[in-house]
Structure formats: structure tokens, C-alpha cells
Structure 1
């Protein structure tokens, strides 16, 4: 019964439940997800590397002209995400570690965890679980 109530609460939050700050699995990255019109977007607000070097640049970006931009505040989740069947899909996630941009799907298995799946092309995908920061 409690599990059903938790699932109902999550469903009631629906599309808005994803808004907030999330800690990624790697390098202590913190991403703040917000509504951007009818979509969502997420900016990098901190990481282990940024604590050591707040002026860190996007040095591995595949586009040379973007390699001089700062990583702090960089939009990592962007595009035309739409919410359906409990997940956000149709947008992209950027990974400054390799300079790649990947098709992304975000789902919330519960209020405190976010599953981010990034794909070059299906089935070449990688999934991370992020934890909500309260």
C-alpha cells in the first residue's frame, strides 16, 4: 500500500518532479534542472574539477570554437524534451569529459533518483543514476 501511495505521489508530481539539483554518479558533478518553456534544461553548477579550478574550460568540445568557454554554468541538458509515459525524451545531454552530445532520456524511479540514459545511437547507450540534493 505504501509503495502504491509513493508511486501515486510521484505520478501526481509528473513532469515537474524532475526540477531541482541533482548529483551525478561521477566527479561530484551537480546539475540544476529547470523548466525551459515546455521543455527542461540543466546547467552544471559544480563538480570536483570546478572546486579545484573554477575557471575550467570546455577543452574537449568537438567544436574548436567552443573550447574556450567556461564549464561552470554550461548547459548540459538541452533540446526539445517532451514528457510522456513518466519520462522526458527528445533532447540531448552534453558530456564535457569527452566533448560529446548524446540523445537523452530522463526518468524518475522515485523522488530522490533520476536515471539518465544517453545514447550515440540505440543500442549504444549508457545509463547513470543521479541523486537529488535536498
Structure 2
């Protein structure tokens, strides 16, 4: 009897493995300024916060000085939510916003999981004025 239970459990684990592999949550490396973003679930959506960057390594107290909203310019940059409101899956999430701390602006965007370890982030002022970046999974 225990052998059948174990076999059923093993089969269930094998069947769920691909779903776990396509999970975009985790720590991701951005292509600019050695940025690291932690992507997690925020309710039914995806969100991401800035964990590290060249600037934060040099000054952990770095502020969000370029924010287009003057009242937010004194907030610490570490931990700032830069991805919010992305819904969908399992390979593509849309309808979200991408905050770019370098210019202090927020863009509409989409996220596409390209394999297990690459994310394609597309941010747009208005279509077709868009830019795409590839992020690499760190963990």
C-alpha cells in the first residue's frame, strides 16, 4: 500500500514540475547598472521591488531623486516597487507598470518569460514607442 502512495506522490510531483519551472518569481539581474529586482506575487498579480544596484552598493541610503513626483524624491530607493499590476501568465503578464528610477517615470509594460531563466520586459510610453530588456534569473 505504501508503494502505491509513494508512486502516486511521485507522479504528482513530476506533473507539477513544469509549472514550477515557468514561475517568474525570484531574484532577477537587470542589464543596466547591476540592478537586482525581486519579483513576487502581490495577490493575483506580479510585482517587483528594487533590491540592489551599483548606486545602492555605493550608497545604501540613495534616494529616489529623479522621481517625477517631487513628494517621493526623499524616499529610499532600496525596496521601491518598480513593477506592479501585471496579470496573466503562465508565460506572459500584461497591464502592469514599470517604474524607471533613472528618469523617474512610469511606463506601461508587459513581462514575458523566455525559458526558465530569462524575462523580457517591455516598457512603452505609447505603442510603438517601446523598449525591451532581457533580465537573467539569479535565483
TM-score of the two chains, using structure 2 as the length reference: 0.84
Deviation at 1:60, TM superposition (A): 0.5
Instruction: Point out 4+ residue stretches in structure 1 off by more than 6 angstroms.
Output: none
Q: What secondary structure is seen at the aligned counterpart in 2 of 1:97?
A: coil
Equivalent residue in structure 2 for 1:119, among 106, 109, 124: 124
| Structure of larger gyration radius | 2
Distance 1:78 1:68 in 2: 21
The answer to whether 1:66 aligns with 2:72 is yes
The 2-side partners of 1:117 and 1:98 are apart by 16
Corresponding residue for 1:129? 134
Which residue does the alignment assign to 2:27?
A: 21
Structure 2: give runs of 5+ residues left out of the alignment: 1-16
Distance, in Å, in 2 between the alignment partners of 1:108 and 1:59 is 31
Deviations, residues 88-107 of structure 1 (Å, cap 9, x unaligned):
00010000000010001000
Summarize the alignment of residues 1-134 of structure 1 with structure 2, pairs less than 5 Å apart. Answer: 12-13=19-20, 17-79=23-85, 81-84=86-89, 86-134=91-139
Q: With the length of structure 1 as denominator, give the TM-score of the two structures.
A: 0.87
Q: Size of the alignment, in residue pairs? A: 123
Provide closer, same or farther for how the CA distance between residues 101 and 18 of structure 1 changes in structure 2, counting only shifts above 3 A.
same
User: Aligned partners of 2:52, 2:31: CA distance in 1, in Å?
Assistant: 13
Write the deviation string for residues 39-74 of structure 1: whole angstroms up to 9, x where unpaired: 011000000110000000000100100100010000
Alpha-carbon distance in structure 1 between the residues aligned to 2:79 and 2:26: 15
Where 2:56 maps in the other structure, the secondary structure is helix
